[in-house]
Chains A and B, each alone.
Chain A
Amino acid sequence: MTEHMTGTGIARLEDVESFRLRARAWLADNMPRLIPGENDNLEALMQRGDGIWPRARELQRLLYDGGFAGICFPREYGGLGLTPAHQRAFNEECAGYEMPLALNTPTFSICGATVLDMASEEQKRQHLQAVIRGDEVMVQFLSEPRGGSDLAGVTTRATRDGDVFILSGSKIWSSGAYAADWALCLARTDWEAPKHRGMTMFLLKVHQPGIEIKRIKQINGNNEFCQEFFDDVVVPASNVVGEVNGGWAVASRQLFHERNAVGGGSPYVSGGVGPPRRGPGTHALIDMVRASGQSDDVYVRELVAEAHAISRIQQQLITRVTDGMRTQQLPPPAAAIMRLFAGQASTRLAEIGVEILGSHAVAGGASGEHGPAATGGQASGVVSPGADTAGPVTDGQGLDYGRSFLMRQAGSLGGGSTEMARNIISERVLGMPREFAADRDVPFSQVRQGR
């Protein structure tokens, strides 16, 4: 038994194993099972329009009512106040069940975590419980069309007008914004201060007058990413998170949670997601090897083993880095180590996929079943033993690996590029000199801007 402080004093935490057994029993009685080809592929489900979001809210509500939502969020904000070990146990028990995975990132692991760390008591009470109940979906309004990695160069403008701010500008790469309720939006409030000291973070209602949302289609057909256009949007001053012109502190915390989430180390991710999301799972890959008659090929066998090793090592690394940060033997920026591994892993796994599948990854299967817009992501083929003429390869499922390959670089871009991760590791973990920045200590209005 572990002890920890709560608002009411010292409470005894439930033992991890007893929590696990209780979760196992509850899941079996209450959660819908995964059905291969129907609800087991998040990437595929996302392309069916708005369907996943109402469903995710419904599933989250089920978890909340059952007492298994917000495992690592404090009790006073609607969570369970338990430890990452409890969350890991729960995630392990979730295998085979349909879970509201769409809410993990960014709602829980990035936005919820940032609100918990940085927002006012009133804001926490307003938003966290709603998030944990499945009533509120959150989104990040950080990146801008001209921004890229230079996040602190935001040019979305927020101008104070009495009790409100008036927002204008544009944000991009916000996942699921069209279905979200609230955003964490970073905007410039002081143009004469150097860039890091003139920004403010707002809790912004997503659907309101002056906000137009456009969905962006990616090369794998996914259209979850959005761009938003703000035209004199009114935001109450009470929606400022942290201090006015102190937005960078909030954004920095948000980026920390983002690296943690993308690297796989967030304690707020629930439902057994487990990176890498883009790479082929070992079992699916083994099915493909069998179906393409390559089981005896030593080179192919080695590639499967390598893919499996990468996935295992990724989990081992996450455990190690998380432990290191928790015990302060690694500084918080070490979360970038997990993020960089995730990028390198998804690159190599995509490469292994097309190497093993060969021509099956680029052509084959009856047309019409899997058009070019069909999904990437995990293949879930089942092989009938001895079948020569039917099976995942001849069904065209090999193309999933080709499509994953086309999207390969997304794993090194989303959640902060691997180049930024390398800067963070070398500068803030190893203590090497910072890169020269032409905009340091210069009023933002005088900083040169490209197009």
Chain B
Amino acid sequence: MDFDLTADQKLFRATTREFLEKEMPLTRVRELAGGGIGFEPDWWKRGSELGWNSMVVDPAAGGDSISGEGLVDACIVAEEMGRLVSPGPLIGANVVAAALSEAANAADHAEVIAALMAGEAVASWAVYEPRRGWSPMTPTVQATSDGSGYVLSGIKDRVDCGDQADYFLVTAGGPDGLAQFIVPAAAPGVTVTAEQSLDLVRRYARVDMDGVVLPATSVVSPAGTVEAAVNRQIQIAVALQCAETAGAIQRVFEFTVQWAFDRYSFGRPLASYQALKHRFADMKLWLEACQATAGAAAHATARQAEDADELASVAKSYVGQRATDIIQDCVQMHGGIGVTWEHDIHLYLRRATVNRAMFGTPSEHRRRLADILGV
């Protein structure tokens, strides 16, 4: 959480927190997990009415931020969702809505943007491909021109909320180089297959595209503009993801500190042992550093600062690693109860572990950072 939120941002945070605590407490998250769905579309629509998907959308395309830094506002939602390990397509919806609204042909995407903002449609950034790590600029999906439009073939997998998405943002190779397209899940030739996920409510899917015919207006980033577009998508995805992870570790740390006060061994609270106090001090340090770097990445991205690419990779390389360090150490503080299904801490560990790996691992972001620095 930023220490310099405006009064409006604080109000927005309170409203979002209240909504999530009432509508999506951890008990409900566990029910969804047991029931086999990621999120309820009606719940997502009601949350979207609070503005969850409108803030990163370019104002010219109907977007409306709270503070003037729309992504920072969206990160408030992400952080609150992290505190409660909420389900939902927040990252995909925002990445895709921003991309469509910043496209040169944003007018062609007006309907989809409106549906995403209203929460009536769900979109996902389909960026991974089978048998490959993080390589958003070297897709094997191919686009061919068919005169009036394009034909897409190939496979994306590990697609966030893929089995509930209405649209996919897809990067494909083509006759003039890479281009990005918005692909309706309902288009003939698209087959979506649910995949397994370590997270109980953040589901992933495989998307097979076999001769999917798209109109010319489905282009989001034409050839020659994809690298800049993808970098911006990475910035937004990573900022939201790091904010969500920061919210998760903030909550885990809070209840683990409380546990250390309440739990007694040898007639003393755990919090009185210096060996443990020092570990809590380290965790507090890492937590604050995670918050600091996640916040810096969000501000830089919102302002489209020169070093936004660099700060996204700085944040992800640190938060990805430290968040799981903190939660695993909190599991250790809890003792055996920490590795039971009954205790909530594994819900957080699952989310932090998925976030650590998705949209580039810490190691993949260090390599990207080395490229950016010109090592």
A392 to chain B, nearest CB (A): 15
- With a cutoff of 8 Å between Cβ atoms, the chain A residues found around residue B282 in the complex are 340, 422
CB–CB B317/A435 < 8 A: no
- With a cutoff of 8 Å between Cβ atoms, the chain A residues found around residue B288 in the complex are 317, 320-321, 337
A305 located at the interface, meaning its Cβ lies under 8 Å from any Cβ of chain B in the complex = yes
A311 to chain B, nearest CB (A): 9
Q: Which residues of chain A from 287 to 327 have a CB within 8 Å of any chain B CB?
A: 289, 295, 298, 301-302, 304-306, 308-309, 312-313, 316-317, 319-321, 323-324, 327
B280 located at the interface, meaning its Cβ lies under 8 Å from any Cβ of chain A in the complex = yes
CB–CB A309/B271 < 8 A: no
User: Interface readout for A398-435 with B: 1 if CB under 8 Å, 0 if not?
Assistant: 00000000000000000000010111011101101101
CB–CB A425/B317 < 8 A: no
CB–CB B367/A301 < 8 A: yes
> Which B residue sits closest to A318, measured CB to CB?
B292
A381 to chain B, nearest CB (A): 15
The bracket for how many chain B residues form the interface is 35 or more
A341 located at the interface, meaning its Cβ lies under 8 Å from any Cβ of chain B in the complex = yes
Give the distance in Å from the alpha carbon of A425 to the alpha carbon of B280 in the complex.
8
B42 located at the interface, meaning its Cβ lies under 8 Å from any Cβ of chain A in the complex = no
Which residue of A305, A306, A312, A319 has the most chain B CB atoms within 10 A of its CB atom? A305
Known: A319-B292, A341-B289. A308 touches B373 (CB 8 A): yes
User: Interface readout for B60-98 with A: 1 if CB under 8 Å, 0 if not?
Assistant: 000000000000000000000000000000000000000
Give the distance in Å from the alpha carbon of A421 to the alpha carbon of B282 in the complex.
10
CB–CB A313/B318 < 8 A: yes
- With a cutoff of 8 Å between Cβ atoms, the chain A residues found around residue B280 in the complex are 425-426, 430, 432
B267 to chain A, nearest CB (A): 13
Known: A305-B317, A316-B295, A317-B288. A432 touches B375 (CB 8 A): no
Q: How many residues of A contact B (CB 8 A)?
A: 40
CB–CB B4/A422 < 8 A: no
B171 located at the interface, meaning its Cβ lies under 8 Å from any Cβ of chain A in the complex = no
B24 to chain A, nearest CB (A): 27
Known: A316-B292, A433-B272. A309 touches B285 (CB 8 A): no
Give the distance in Å from the alpha carbon of A162 to the alpha carbon of B289 in the complex.
53
CB–CB A433/B269 < 8 A: yes
- With a cutoff of 8 Å between Cβ atoms, the chain B residues found around residue A319 in the complex are 292, 296
A344 located at the interface, meaning its Cβ lies under 8 Å from any Cβ of chain B in the complex = yes
Q: Is the interface of A mostly helix, strand, loop or mixed?
A: helix
Give the distance in Å from the alpha carbon of A419 to the alpha carbon of B274 in the complex.
10
User: Interface readout for A273-298 with B: 1 if CB under 8 Å, 0 if not?
Assistant: 00000000010001001000001001
A94 to chain B, nearest CB (A): 20
CB–CB B3/A421 < 8 A: no
Give the distance in Å from the alpha carbon of A330 to the alpha carbon of B278 in the complex.
19
A315 to chain B, nearest CB (A): 9
Give the distance in Å from the alpha carbon of A266 to the alpha carbon of B375 in the complex.
32
CB–CB B292/A317 < 8 A: yes
- With a cutoff of 8 Å between Cβ atoms, the chain A residues found around residue B289 in the complex are 313, 316-317, 341
CB–CB A429/B260 < 8 A: no
B169 located at the interface, meaning its Cβ lies under 8 Å from any Cβ of chain A in the complex = no
Which residue of A319, A320, A321, A341 has the most chain B CB atoms within 10 A of its CB atom? A320
CB–CB A427/B277 < 8 A: yes
B374 located at the interface, meaning its Cβ lies under 8 Å from any Cβ of chain A in the complex = yes
CB–CB B285/A313 < 8 A: no
Give the distance in Å from the alpha carbon of A425 to the alpha carbon of B287 in the complex.
13
Give the distance in Å from the alpha carbon of A432 to the alpha carbon of B275 in the complex.
12
Known: A316-B293, A433-B271. A308 touches B369 (CB 8 A): yes
Which residue of B271, B277, B313, B365 has the most chain A CB atoms within 10 A of its CB atom? B277
B343 located at the interface, meaning its Cβ lies under 8 Å from any Cβ of chain A in the complex = no
- With a cutoff of 8 Å between Cβ atoms, the chain A residues found around residue B373 in the complex are 282, 286, 304-305, 308
**Cβ contact of B370, chosen from A301, A323, A337, cutoff 8 A:** A301
What are 20 A-B interface contacts by the 8 Å CB criterion? A301-B370, A301-B375, A302-B363, A305-B373, A306-B366, A308-B373, A309-B318, A312-B311, A312-B314, A317-B292, A320-B295, A323-B3, A324-B3, A327-B3, A341-B285, A423-B277, A423-B281, A425-B285, A430-B257, A433-B272
17 more CB-based (< 8 A) A-B contacts, given A308-B369, A309-B314, A312-B293: A286-B375, A305-B313, A306-B317, A309-B317, A309-B318, A309-B366, A309-B369, A316-B295, A320-B292, A324-B3, A340-B282, A423-B278, A426-B280, A426-B281, A432-B261, A432-B271, A432-B277
Chain A contacts to B: CB under 8 angstroms? 282, 286, 289, 295, 298, 301-302, 304-306, 308-309, 312-313, 316-317, 319-321, 323-324, 327, 329-330, 337, 340-341, 344, 419, 421-423, 425-427, 429-430, 432-433, 435
